Amino acid sequence: MRIAITGTPGVGKTTVSKVLAKRLNMEVIDITDVVKRYRLYIDYDEDMESYVIDFEKLNNFLKDKDNIILDGHVSHLLNPDYTIVLRCDPKIIEERLRKRGYKDKKVLENVQAEILDVCLCESKGKVYEIDTTNRDVEDIVNEIIEAIKEGKERKGIVDWLSKYYEYLEI
Ligand code: ADP
Ligand code: MG
């Protein structure tokens, strides 16, 4: 079983993945972490201050691993059996990313990605989307476990676009 925990940076993937892993007795693989540690990248994007992932190398690194939780905003692209898409109010994501010290451009790109449902749109197969806004981690994890157990699928539960259209104006 390979579970992807995906969503915009700052949405809460790492926080949720750790608690979920304990509950399910599974190993978490933090994609950003392994990409850096094992040099599974093609390049470094100075502009976005992030590594450009080498997907062939990353898939190769993951190929013999089973019973894993993949934590990362590209985890849904790594052939998961189940994809959990975490969502959060873009204003909260903005605050969290500013706290992390991301520069304006990177904050805005990520906030826009959340508004435009990028991770959700890219997710294929069994997908379950959760709005985590103002919810406790334990509560979110309980919902994820129930969804996986029952094989639930759900997409299209938030509409940030009509709430935050002004963020997309240039
Ligand atoms: P990601 O891995 O998606 O980038 P993190 O798990 O690192 O996100 O979370 C970003 C920040 O938001 C952290 O400071 C974390 O403590 C906080 N956070 C995450 N989930 C929640 C939640 N459900 N409620 C309150 N704060 C949260
Ligand atoms: Mg993380």
Q: Which residue has the tokens 């309980």?
A: 142
Domains and CATH numbers, the chain: 2-88+122-158 (3.40.50.300)
> How remote is the CA of residue 67 from the centroid of ligand 2, in Å?
19
Hey, whose CA ends up nearest to atom 12 of ligand 1? 12
Residue 49 has pLDDT above 90, yes or no: no
> How remote is the CA of residue 23 from the centroid of ligand 2, in Å?
18
pLDDT (average), residues 54-76: 98
10 lines ligand 1 (CB under 6 A): yes
CA distance 5 to 128: 10
Model confidence, pTM: 0.96
Encoding tokens for residue 70? 């993949």
- pLDDT tier at 65 (50, 70, 90 boundaries)? very high
> How remote is the CA of residue 12 from the centroid of ligand 2, in Å?
7
At 170 the pLDDT is 56
What ligand 1 atom has the least distance to the C-alpha of 73? 3
ipTM of the shown complex? 0.99
Write out pLDDT tens, residues 119-144.
Answer: 999 999 999 999 999 999 999 999 99
At 110 the pLDDT is 96
Write out pLDDT tens, residues 71-122.
Answer: 999 999 999 999 999 999 999 999 999 999 999 999 999 999 999 999 999 9
CA distance 95 to 107: 9
Residue 8 has pLDDT above 70, yes or no: yes
At 64 the pLDDT is 95
158 C-beta neighbours (distance < 10 Å), count? 19
Cβ 52 vs Cβ 41: under 8 Å = yes
11 lines ligand 1 (CB under 6 A): yes
